[in-house]
């Protein structure tokens, strides 16, 4: 299993872009933040339903890292069965513009059809480039 960039060395990355990306590093963190921006506070099971491809273990890991980085707040209610809610912190909410620009770019440039993903310029079909199949898909094939 790969480790986030920030954990590969004892020094935190110096470049502002690299530093910001290290907070969002991982396949699911940006998507989790996107759902929290759209919905506000979500319970663990609600997040899990929003992300049907993620395992429970990976969702827990990504949420813990977001919490450790101060982007997400976890609130546990003392009830049975346990109730846990996740919401964005003030610093997490400050990433909204970044995440929404990524969503807008994806809506404009990424095409998903017939189980394949393509990236292209909307006004130039000749620019279409097929994205590589992820490790998950190639393992299932």
State how far the Cα of 110 lies from the Cα of 113, in Å rounded to an integer.
Answer: 10
pTM confidence score: 0.77
At 1, is the pLDDT very low, low, confident or very high (cuts 50, 70, 90)? very low
Q: Give the residue among 23, 49, 50 at the shortest CA–CA distance from 35.
A: 50
Judge whether residue 29 has pLDDT over 90.
Answer: yes
- Tell me if residue 137 falls in helix, strand or coil: helix
Question: What pLDDT, on the 0 to 100 scale, is given for residue 20?
Answer: 86
The residue among 13, 16, 25 whose CA lies nearest residue 68 is: 25
Q: Which helix (H) or strand (E) holds 135?
A: helix 135-140
- Going by pLDDT thresholds of 50, 70 and 90, the confidence category of residue 46 is very high
pLDDT at 13 (0 to 100): 57
Q: Model confidence over 74-112: pLDDT tens digits? A: 999 999 988 999 999 999 999 999 999 999 998 888 888
Q: Which comes out higher in pLDDT, residue 12 or 32?
A: 32
Q: What is the end-to-end Cα distance of the chain in Å, rounded?
A: 21
């Amino acid at each position: 299993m790969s480790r986030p960039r920030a954990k590969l060395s004892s020094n935190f990355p110096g470049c502002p872009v690299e530093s910001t990306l290290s907070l969002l590093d991982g396949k699911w963190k940006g998507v989790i933040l996107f759902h929290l921006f759209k919905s506000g506070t979500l319970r663990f099971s609600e997040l899990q339903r929003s992300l049907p491809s993620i395992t429970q273990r990976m969702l827990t890991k990504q949420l813990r890292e977001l919490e450790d980085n101060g982007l997400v707040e976890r609130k546990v209610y003392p009830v049975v069965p346990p109730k846990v809610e996740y919401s964005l912190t003030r610093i997490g909410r400050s990433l909204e513009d970044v995440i929404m620009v990524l969503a807008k770019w994806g809506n404009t440039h990424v095409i998903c059809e017939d189980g394949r993903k393509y990236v292209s310029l909307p006004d130039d079909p000749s620019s279409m480039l097929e994205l590589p199949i992820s490790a998950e898909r190639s393992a299932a094939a």
